[in-house]
Amino acid sequence: MGKTNQLESILESLEQADALAGLQEATEALQNHFNVDHIAYHWVDSAGDQYGCGTYSKDWQDRYIAQNYQRIDPVVIGCYQRFHPVDWKQFDWSSKAARAFQLEAIEYGIGNQGYSVPVRGPNGQFALFTVNHTCDDDAWANFSENHRRELILIAYYLNEKALEFEPERRPEAAQALSPREVDAITLLAIGYNRAQVANTLSISEHTLRVYIESARFKLGALNTTHAVARALSRGLIVV
C-alpha cells in the first residue's frame, strides 16, 4: 500500500472508531506510518477532564504525572500561548528546570525533536497533537516541511473524533463564512502569507484584508491566527 493510501486508511479507521481505544490505535498506526519515535494526542475536554493516547512509555507517563511536569514543560506552556503548529526549537528551554526536564525525557526515550499542533475546540476544549523523533536538525526540518500539512489535518481529525466522545456534547453554533472567506482562511491555514493569498485569489491585499476581517468578526477571533484555529476546529475549513 502506498504512503498516501496508508494514511487515508488510518484516517478512515479513525473516523469509524466508536470508543477512545480507536484514538490509541490511530496514534500507533501513525507512528508506524511516519516512522517516528512517538506520536501523542492529549486533550482537556470542556468539563476539564484530561485524556491522552499515544506511544510514550508507561514509565514516562507515570513519571510525568507524578512530577506534575506540565507545570514546567515548555511544549505545554508554549502551546497554550499559541494557535498555530510549532517546532519545539521555538519554545523557551533556557531555564534550569526546563533543561533538566528535557534531559530526563530523553533518558525515557523521548526524541530531541518535536512538532506540536495546538487545537482549540468548543466550550474551552484544548488539545495537543505531537510528533516526536530523534534526528539532526536538517533531517527534522525536511520531515516537518514535507509533512506539515498532513500533521495539521491529522490533529483536527483526532480532535473531531475526541469531541464525539464528550458527554452531553452541545455543538457550538457557527456563523457561515462566505466562499471567498473560506478560500482566504484556508490558504492562510496551509501557510501562505497575505501576498501569496491575494495573488492566488487574484485580488488586492486590501480586498483580502476585508475578507479576513469579516471572517474574524464572524468567528469571534482575537486575530487572524485565532480565526484560522477557530475555523479549523469548527470544521468550516479543511486543510
pLDDT (tens digit per residue) in 79-131: 988 888 999 999 999 999 999 999 999 999 999 999 999 988 777 788 999 99
Domains observed in the chain: 3-164 (3.30.450.80), 179-233 (1.10.10.10)
Residue 36 has which C-alpha cell?
A: 517516528
Burial of 19 (0-12, 13-18, 19+ CB in 10 A): exposed
**CA nearest to 200, candidates 213, 181, 187:** 187
In whole angstroms, what is the distance from residue 180 CA to residue 239 CA?
A: 15
Q: Mean pLDDT lowest for which of 40-44, 111-115, 140-144?
A: 40-44
Per-residue pLDDT for 171 more than 60?
Answer: no
pLDDT band at 20 (very low <50, low <70, confident <90, very high): confident
pLDDT at 168: 57
